[in-house]
Structure 1
Amino acid sequence: MTSETQHNYWGYTTGPGIPTVYSLTDSGSIRVLWALEELVGQNVLETYNLKSFERSKTTKAAPDAMKEGFRLGKSPILTVSPVNAPDEPPTPFVESRLVLQFLADHYANGLWDPITPQDQARDTFFQEFAGTTLSTLTSLTLTMDVIPEATPWPLKPLLKLLFVPLMSVFKGKLVGPFEFLEDALSDEKPWFGGSRLGLADFCMVFPLDTCVARKYFDAAKYPNVNKWHKTVHELPAYQRAVAKMGEYNGIKA
């Protein structure tokens, strides 16, 4: 067995250089692309490199070419070499939350730092909540939803009989998390990161985008969450991220 280069660890005394992000269409890389566009828009990062990949038309899987960035080939992947040694083999960073933390630690210059200890605890909690509770329930609901859609005739009606009730059950399980998120937002704390945009907001956007696009989310029942979602979608950095992804939730650049 060959040895594996350590990933998600910055082992250099000098800082990282220009990052490269491996992005897959219609995927969770929207979180990292949005964060990078915020850094560029706020002039704390000059630029970044983008390697964009399309899903298979039949299987919707990522192409093997993404394994260039990291052996598992799962989006998003961020790679970077030391700023003073750009030809050094790049270090890969994977898993969205850890990639976002790396960007905050090495590029953001405090841009997303919570203002108070309470906001710090809140931001950390909602990062975890987005990646576990909300993402898990969203993924399970989506699975029950898309399997009948992808099944050819004549099996489609049968699978709909099996999966539509299951999808409704999982959709119902999203109500509790939505209510919890609704109560967490207010005029004083309009962001999941607290009084200003934080890492939790980047983490939250993908599962909530999915729920809104698939109509699992009733905007009338959750006005605070709906306001947050609309605010995010109106941000120029978010809009640039969607355009650079190429295709996202039915939107094609």
Structure 2
Amino acid sequence: MSNSIIRVHWLNQSRAFRVLWLLDALKLDFEIIPYKRVDGRAPDSLKKIHPLGRSPIVEIEDKSTGKKKMLIESGYIFQYMLQNFDHDNVLNNTDPDMAEKIQFYLHFAEGSIQPPLLMEYIYQLAEKSSSFPISYFVQSVVNKLSEAYSRGEVKNQFDFLESEIVKNKGYLVDGKLSAADILVSFPVEMAFLRGFVTSEIYPNTKKWLDTIKTTDSYAITKEKVKAFGEEM
């Protein structure tokens, strides 16, 4: 689809970085249209692009007809780009079984690992935003909620990742960088930064995260967002 113009509607401090990284890894030309958060939220101007007003949004325009397609949801964006732009299987795989495994991770990133991490983050915010003596009761409640579901789920997801990375020689699929690594990187990095998991318990996962961030494509993307005031 070389007859396409690609625009990424990118929101600062968001998961949209992964989409830029994907496109840079595929060596595609694209335009970044930046947006800044307002009081921690996406600006209303994003709703003019798509009713959900979320980022990332990838806009694909056909040069010959001017017809535009709007892609939202990171997993779907990754799937679409692999199917339509990764003709050399740079981030996909020629082995059908490995390609299916990559597709699995595109759903795993948002459907399995992200929900319990989001719950843990909400609990963390609740504890930080309350003052004594209310904080004592808030902490008691969130600890019970965390113990009942999300804490165990986080452990389950990271135990799985740790074992898969060992099996696949330091990557998620087939011993090499794929779209799966890029998409899963965000929730994993947030989990380490927020203290939900540690490198002592998951050394191979932390090593994997550090390794994929040494790629040329990551460095290129990092410099691009830096131009918009984003520090990674």
Tell me whether the two structures share a fold, i.e. TM-score over 0.5.
yes
- Is 23-32 or 155-164 further displaced after alignment? 155-164
Residue pairs, 1:20-39, within 5 angstroms: 20-39=7-26
Cα-to-partner distance string for 1:104-143 (whole Å, 9 max, x where unaligned): 1222222222142331232222222222110111111111
What's 1:232 paired with? 212
SS at match of 1:234: coil
- Partners in 2 of 1:136 and 1:21 — Cα distance? 25
What's 1:94 paired with? 72
- Partners in 1 of 2:137 and 2:25 — Cα distance? 43
What's 2:42 paired with? 62
After the TM superposition, which segments of 4 or more aligned residues of structure 1 sit over 6 Å from their partners? none
Structure 2 CA distance for partners of 1:70 and 1:193, relative to 1, 3 Å: farther
SS at match of 2:5: coil
Q: What root-mean-square deviation, in Å, do the aligned CA atoms of Structure 1 and Structure 2 show?
A: 2.6
What's 2:83 paired with? 105
What's 1:6 paired with? none
Tell me the CA shift for residue 36 of structure 1. 1.3
What's 1:134 paired with? 113
Kindly indicate whether residue 23 of structure 2 is the aligned counterpart of residue 17 of structure 1: no
- Partners in 2 of 1:33 and 1:114 — Cα distance? 20
What's 1:215 paired with? 195
Structure 2 CA distance for partners of 1:154 and 1:218, relative to 1, 3 Å: closer
Cα-to-partner distance string for 1:166-209 (whole Å, 9 max, x where unaligned): 57522343111111111111375432232322222122011111
What's 1:201 paired with? 181
Kindly indicate whether residue 30 of structure 2 is the aligned counterpart of residue 48 of structure 1: yes
- Partners in 1 of 2:32 and 2:207 — Cα distance? 30
Tell me the CA shift for residue 61 of structure 1. 1.0
Aligned residue identity for 2:26: L
What's 2:139 paired with? 161
SS at match of 1:81: strand
- Partners in 1 of 2:175 and 2:98 — Cα distance? 8
- Partners in 1 of 2:209 and 2:62 — Cα distance? 36
Where in structure 1 are there 5+ consecutive unaligned residues?
1-13
Where in structure 2 are there 5+ consecutive unaligned residues?
none
Q: Is the 8 A contact 2:92 2:102 kept in 1?
A: no
- Partners in 1 of 2:42 and 2:119 — Cα distance? 20
Q: Is the 8 A contact 2:127 2:139 kept in 1?
A: no
Cα-to-partner distance string for 1:1-29 (whole Å, 9 max, x where unaligned): xxxxxxxxxxxxx7651211111122111
- Higher normalized contact order (CA 8 Å, seq sep 6+, divided by chain length): 1
Identity %: 22
> Scaled by the length of structure 1, what TM-score is found?
0.79
Higher helix proportion? 2
Tell me the CA shift for residue 71 of structure 1. 1.6
- Partners in 2 of 1:71 and 1:15 — Cα distance? 28
SS at match of 1:196: coil
SS at match of 2:188: helix
What's 1:3 paired with? none
Cα-to-partner distance string for 1:140-178 (whole Å, 9 max, x where unaligned): 1111112333x3657873564255515752234311111
